[in-house]
Amino acid sequence: AVNKPLVVSTWNSGQISNAAAWPVLEKGGKALDAVEQAAIAIENDINCCVGLGGNPDRDGHVTLDACLMDDKFNCGSVAFVEKVKHPISLARKLMETTPHVFLAGEGAQQFAIASGFKLESGKLSPDAEKAYKEWLKKADYKPVINIERQQAHPKGHGPFAPERFEDGSFNHDTMGTIALDASGNLSGMCTTSGMGFKMRGRIGDSPIIGSGLYVDNEVGAATGSGQGEEVIRICGTHTIVELMRNGATPAEACKKAIERIIKINPEKAKTFQVGFIAINKQGEIGAYSIQKGFNYTVTEQGGKGKVINSESYF
């Protein structure tokens, strides 16, 4: 029997996103609506790595990337967007009301205004401000391996939001959610403020269809988190879906994609993190990461989110 409905999100902060997605799925709603709700919930939350409260780029501006994809190969992405609170809804608007699939920067912001989205102030959240000031002392661009820590949320928004490191260095806490609805259809989303203190204009894997997110309703769906540049090199999530098409389970497919990244440069791979999650049409779930510390949240029958530690290469 097919295990449905079902929603899986990256990280233990997936409890926030899954809690928003589940009511949609439980009522027999569409996976696309569920994953959009998942993104909205995490974009509303104040945390290091998603939404306007996230860490800024090295010039001090928060720039957001997000995408979503449904069960009919419809997709929408926005990147390098400023002052828009819900880039996921902007991506959906682009997908549903224009012939385009990908819009960036100033043009994306113009489209937001034209579509009735309100622009926010662009002021950094207190946490991001603090982290940025700290980062400016050295202004080093040195990605560190993320290990998500289970700590109380500094703002009391719930126990599982991503935490920022004390020294202002960043986590990899992009949120990706994939869902299978009661009708057996798949959709997914990915939303992020990207690498903290990135170069201005830098875009990672998260809004790139086939890298940060891919959905093929005949096969499965995959998303991920981590060092975007390394995911883009292998078109990570598209690779995972193709591996599943050729018979791999979601777990095997995630593992093979990670091994492909590691094979490019095994020494360098020791220094960064990538984690993938995947589901297939039968509702089977899998994940794999390079480093220890990646986890994900699964919500299925009963509706209670379960946090699972991913297997890892190292």
The binder of ligand SD4 chosen from 174, 295, 297, 299 (CB under 6 A) = 174
Please write down the HEC assignment for all residues of 121-190: CCCCCHHHHHHHHHHHHHCCCCCCCCCCCCCCCCCCCCCCCCCCCCCCCCCCCCEEEEEECCCCCEEEEE
Angle at 32 between CA 293 and CA 201, to 5 degrees: 60
Among 33, 71, 181, 205, binds ligand SD4 (CB under 6 A): 205
Q: What does the per-residue mask of binding to ligand SD4 show for 32-51, with x meaning CB under 6 A?
A: -----------------x--
Of the ranges 76-84, 177-185, 191-199, 258-266, which one interacts with ligand SD4 (CB under 6 A)? 191-199
Nearest to 9 by CA among 20, 139, 1: 20
The closest of 258, 211, 218, 216 to 237, measured between CA atoms, is 211
In the complex with ligand SD4, which residue's Cβ is closer, 173 or 300? Answer: 173
Sheet holding 6-10, edge to edge: 102-104, 75-81, 64-69, 186-192, 175-180, 6-10, 295-299, 306-309
**Binding of residue 194 to ligand SD4 (CB under 6 A):** yes
Measure CA of the first residue to CA of the last residue in the chain; give whole Å.
34
Which residues are tagged catalytic?
A: 174
Q: Does 300 bind ligand SD4 (CB under 6 A)?
A: no
196 vs 286 by CB, closer to ligand SD4? 196
Closer to ligand SD4 by Cβ: residue 10 or 185 = 10
Closest distance of CB 235 from ligand SD4, Å: 14
Asked if residue 216 binds ligand SD4 (CB under 6 A), the reply is no
Comparing CB distances to ligand SD4, the nearer of 12 and 225 is 225
- The rounded distance, in Å, linking the Cα atoms of 103 and 111 is 9
| DSSP 8-state code for residue 207 | T
| Min separation Cβ 281 and ligand SD4, Å | 26
According to the binding rule CB under 6 A, does residue 195 interact with ligand SD4?
yes
Which residue's beta carbon is nearest to the bound ligand SD4? 228
Q: For ligand SD4, which residue of 92, 172, 238, 255 counts as binding (CB under 6 A)?
A: 172
Q: Between 185 and 193, whose beta carbon lies closer to ligand SD4?
A: 193
Which segment (1-9, 80-88, 189-197, 239-247) binds ligand SD4 by CB under 6 A?
Answer: 189-197
Residue 206, interface with ligand SD4 (CB under 6 A)?
A: yes
Distance CA 150, CA 163 (A): 8
The answer to the question of residue 189 lying near ligand SD4 (CB under 6 A) is: no
- Residue 179: name the closest of 295, 280, 53, 106 by CA: 280
Counting contacts by CB under 6 A, is residue 204 touching ligand SD4? Answer: yes
Phi/psi at 204 (5° precision): -95, -155
Short-list 65, 57, 64, CA closest to 170: 57
Applying CB under 6 A, the residues found at the interface with ligand SD4 are 49, 172-174, 192, 194-195, 204-206, 225-226, 228
